[in-house]
């Protein structure tokens, strides 16, 4: 049986900030998305924040204190924006409305750095969104492994731990690797 071809016209870049890395115990906080074409031209973007009770959010951050103590500015920013967040149900509905505006094809190609980790949170916390995604993903971290391991080439990606800025860094990183590829 032949696998049907998958040639999406657009790419959905995503980054998610979470309270930690365990998709069952930790919570998604902030999601940003950028839609690009294959030239990596930005066509649209979306950001959203999920609201949690401030005391419960602080407890989640404190449970991962070792990481968040090193990222205190990012933590403060995430705590401040929590006040403007929405329920997970409203958040997912608005996210899906954005996808409806941007994608008229079937399943959506998800892209980003270590995107498999974000995908685990999506599957756990945002099942309607997960259903829209193709099983194939464009993971920039795979390019990173190859270029560092085989060619000793490393991209200095800014690490801001804020979703929209992290996506733009991932797009810049893939463009860096693609510029080194010579197609015969």
Residues recognised as catalytic? 135
Measured in degrees and rounded to the nearest 5, phi and psi for residue 172 equal -60, -40
Q: How far apart are CA 24 and CA 57, in angstroms?
A: 15
Instruction: Give the CA diameter of the chain.
Output: 58
| DSSP-derived 3-state class of residue 106 | coil
Chain-centroid distance of CA 23 in Å reads 14
User: Dihedral sign, CA of 60, 62, 68, 72?
Assistant: positive
b/e per residue 121-138 (b: at least 16 CB within 10 A): bbebbbeebbebbeeebb
């Amino acid at each position: 049986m032949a696998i049907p071809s998958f040639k999406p016209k657009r790419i959905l870049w995503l980054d998610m900030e979470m309270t930690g890395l365990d998709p069952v115990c930790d919570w998604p906080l902030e999601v940003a998305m950028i839609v690009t074409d294959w030239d990596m031209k930005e066509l649209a973007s979306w950001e959203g924040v999920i609201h949690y009770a401030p005391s419960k959010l602080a407890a989640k951050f404190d449970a991962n204190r070792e990481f968040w103590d090193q990222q205190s500015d990012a933590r403060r920013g995430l705590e401040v924006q929590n006040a403007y967040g929405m329920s997970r149900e409203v958040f997912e509905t608005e996210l899906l409305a954005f996808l409806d505006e941007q994608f008229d094809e079937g399943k959506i190609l998800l892209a980003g750095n270590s995107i498999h980790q974000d995908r685990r949170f999506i599957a756990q916390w945002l099942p309607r969104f997960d259903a829209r995604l193709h099983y194939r993903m464009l993971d920039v971290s795979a390019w990173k492994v190859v270029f560092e391991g085989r060619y000793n080439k490393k991209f200095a990606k800014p690490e801001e731990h804020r979703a929209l800025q992290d996506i733009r860094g991932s797009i810049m990183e893939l463009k860096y690797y693609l510029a080194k590829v010579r197609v015969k």
